[in-house]
Amino acid sequence: MRKAVPPFVIAVVSLIAWQILHAMAGSNTISAPLQTIAFLTDIMATTRFWLDVSETGQAFLWALLISMALGTSLGVALGLSRGTGEVIEPILVTFYALPKVTLYPLVLLVFGLGLSAKVAFGVMHGLVPITLLTRGAITQLKPVYWRTAQVLRLNRRDAIRLVVLPAIVPELIAGIRISVSLSLLGVLIGEMFASKRGLGFAAVNAMGRGDIRMILAIGLFLSVFAITANAALLALEAGVRHRTAAR
């Protein structure tokens, strides 16, 4: 219980800072914490809000699923053939550091406006971390696992399925965790730039109207979602690590 005290104090201090910011900037510019929460509950009662959420959520889930499937297989492939992996890795790292917004027009020209462009953009953000973490986990795998697979005379496919993949589950979860936040970010930016629906569009629309209350409410909603998802996956990762260590 005492562990929860410092984070709680920090949260209260941040809320106070927000309130002070509100007082300094004037009530019409930055809405106060309580106002924002009240407004968020108001818009959460409207169907329009949940339409936006489902629109964003759909693109996000597709992006996440594709990132996970593609990233894991790519990471396994690059991890198994060490030479190829070492050649490809710097390219992936550079791509990861690139401001991918600049490539968004290309994505739009290829996929057109709509769901597929947003999903593709989400995948562009979410794919690389899973790939790199999976590859890293496989290259750092203890040799004893490979030898066990050899002793058991497993063929390559079974060795990957029964030995390698179970051994890297914690890293896979870590990769998924990072991809969750990045694909969400990718989808949101996609919606901000070229969409007529979704939370990103709602935010950019509010930007145009100068409706800061709306932006803060959407930001709050997304932050709560992102932090909860992150915390859940962190807990899962710790649990799996603990279980593997105990065995």
Site for another protein in 187-226 (CB under 8 A): 188-189, 192-193, 203-204, 206-207, 210, 212, 215-216, 218-219, 222-223, 226
Supply the minimum distance, in Å, between the C-beta of residue 227 and another protein.
4
Q: Is 112 left (phi over 0), alpha (psi -120 to 50) or beta?
A: left
Supply the minimum distance, in Å, between the C-beta of residue 90 and another protein.
5
Task: Work out whether 66 is an interface residue with another protein (CB under 8 A).
Answer: no
Contacts of 229 (CB under 8 A, 6+ apart): 177, 180, 181
- Output the six-digit token pair for 83: 């030479």
With CB under 8 A as the contact rule, the residue among 20, 38, 69, 91 that binds another protein is 91
Closer to another protein at the Cβ: 7 or 143?
A: 7
Task: Name the segment binding another protein (CB under 8 A); options: 39-47, 70-78, 102-110, 113-121.
Answer: 102-110
With CB under 8 A as the contact rule, the residue among 45, 47, 90, 151 that binds another protein is 90
What span, in angstroms and rounded, lies between the C-alpha atoms of 169 and 182?
20
Task: Work out whether 1 is an interface residue with another protein (CB under 8 A).
Answer: no
- Output the six-digit token pair for 77: 């492939």
With CB under 8 A as the contact rule, the residue among 20, 51, 113, 234 that binds another protein is 234
Residue 180: closest CA among 135, 125, 99:
125
The stretches of the chain forming alpha helices (DSSP H) are 5-25, 33-43, 47-80, 82-97, 104-111, 115-139, 143-151, 156-158, 165-167, 169-193, 199-209, 212-246
What span, in angstroms and rounded, lies between the C-alpha atoms of 12 and 16?
6
Closer to another protein at the Cβ: 62 or 104?
A: 104
Instruction: Please count the residues of this chain forming the interface with another protein, following the rule CB under 8 A.
Output: 56
Q: Is 236 left (phi over 0), alpha (psi -120 to 50) or beta?
A: alpha
Site for another protein in 155-194 (CB under 8 A): 178, 180-181, 184-185, 188-189, 192-193
Distance of CA 203 to the CA centre of its chain: 19
With CB under 8 A as the contact rule, the residue among 103, 113, 152, 235 that binds another protein is 103
Residue 106 neighbours by CB distance under 10 Å: 10
Task: Name the segment binding another protein (CB under 8 A); options: 34-42, 46-54, 86-94, 147-155.
Answer: 86-94
Question: Whats the size of the chain, residue-wise?
Answer: 247
Q: With contact defined as beta carbons under 8 Å apart, do 125 and 92 qualify? A: no
Q: Which residues form the interface with another protein (CB under 8 A)?
A: 3, 6-7, 9-10, 21, 25, 29-30, 86-88, 90-91, 93-94, 97-106, 108-110, 178, 180-181, 184-185, 188-189, 192-193, 203-204, 206-207, 210, 212, 215-216, 218-219, 222-223, 226-227, 229-231, 234
